Amino acid sequence: MKIGSKFIRLICGLCLTVVALNTHAEQQGVVDLAYPAHAYLSDTQTRLLVEETVSQEKYTQKSAAAMETRNDFKEPLFTGAKAHQYLGLATLVAAAATALNPAGGGCEGAGCNVQTKPPRDTNGTHAQLAKVTGVLAVATVITGLITHWDDFALEDGWADPDNLHVLLGVTGAAAMVYAINKSANSTTPVSHAGIAELGAAAMAIGVRLTW
């Protein structure tokens, strides 16, 4: 009961954060930045001018220059977006590792006969991996909200890949955390694999949508 209300509060908190950040993004998005194209064309040789005065060789050079990669820029090794990306991938790896290391059946609670069946292992490889997965999933959601808050906007609709990414990522993470809580705080072995795997699948699809 206590765990259930904690989980509901966590979900409510996440939802409120998403809505708050979205409202903030919309408020700041009212600036009209559609500058006229001739603002730069006035300083650039027009197509007509190119045809009349510039040789074909220079013309080709110019077009090549327009598409060349800037070499005065070095991409930073570590950024918020990269942290989010790595955490997301790590979550999927950890989730897969958790699924591949199932906990033993075990025996616990009233009526448990430890003579015939070993007690339930609540701190084994599966449990540890699951906890790591949960922490990574929450960290992924938090870094995503911080670094990509302006990619999410309800006005773009739910077909928008960024909105779907947020929806699937947050739902997936919540489902995995719920499954971990459900099992970790139960006095008897409970079925939780379905919801956890569904959460991991949702997160994996969310990642692919914006990869």
CA dist 16 and 13 (Å) reads 5
- Residue 33 contacts other proteins per CB under 8 A: yes
CA-closest candidate to residue 145, choices 22, 52, 10, 40: 22
Q: Which stretch binds other proteins (CB under 8 A): 10-18, 32-40, 90-98, 109-117?
A: 32-40
Q: Which of 55, 75, 111, 113 binds other proteins (CB under 8 A)?
A: 75
CA dist 176 and 172 (Å) reads 6
Q: Which stretch binds other proteins (CB under 8 A): 6-14, 107-115, 177-185, 186-194?
A: 186-194
CA dist 14 and 20 (Å) reads 10
- Residue 76 contacts other proteins per CB under 8 A: yes
165 HSE (CA, 13 A, CB side): 21
Q: Which of 67, 110, 111, 113 binds other proteins (CB under 8 A)?
A: 67
Residue 76 or residue 111: which is nearer to other proteins going by CB? 76
CA-closest candidate to residue 205, choices 161, 174, 158: 161
Smallest separation, CB 28 to other proteins (Å): 5
How far, CA to CA in Å, does 134 sit from each of 22, 176, 190, 196, 201? 25, 6, 18, 10, 14
User: Beta-carbon neighbour count of residue 52 at 10 Å?
Assistant: 9
- Residue 79 contacts other proteins per CB under 8 A: yes
Q: Which of 2, 5, 48, 123 binds other proteins (CB under 8 A)?
A: 48
Residue 9 or residue 62: which is nearer to other proteins going by CB? 62
Would you say the C-alpha torsion 16, 21, 24, 30 has a positive or negative sign?
negative
Smallest separation, CB 59 to other proteins (Å): 6
Q: Which of 15, 100, 187, 211 binds other proteins (CB under 8 A)?
A: 211
Residues found near other proteins in the complex (CB under 8 A): 25, 28-41, 43-48, 50, 59-60, 62-64, 66-70, 72-73, 75-76, 79, 81-82, 150-151, 153, 155-157, 159-162, 191, 193-194, 197-198, 201-202, 205, 208-211
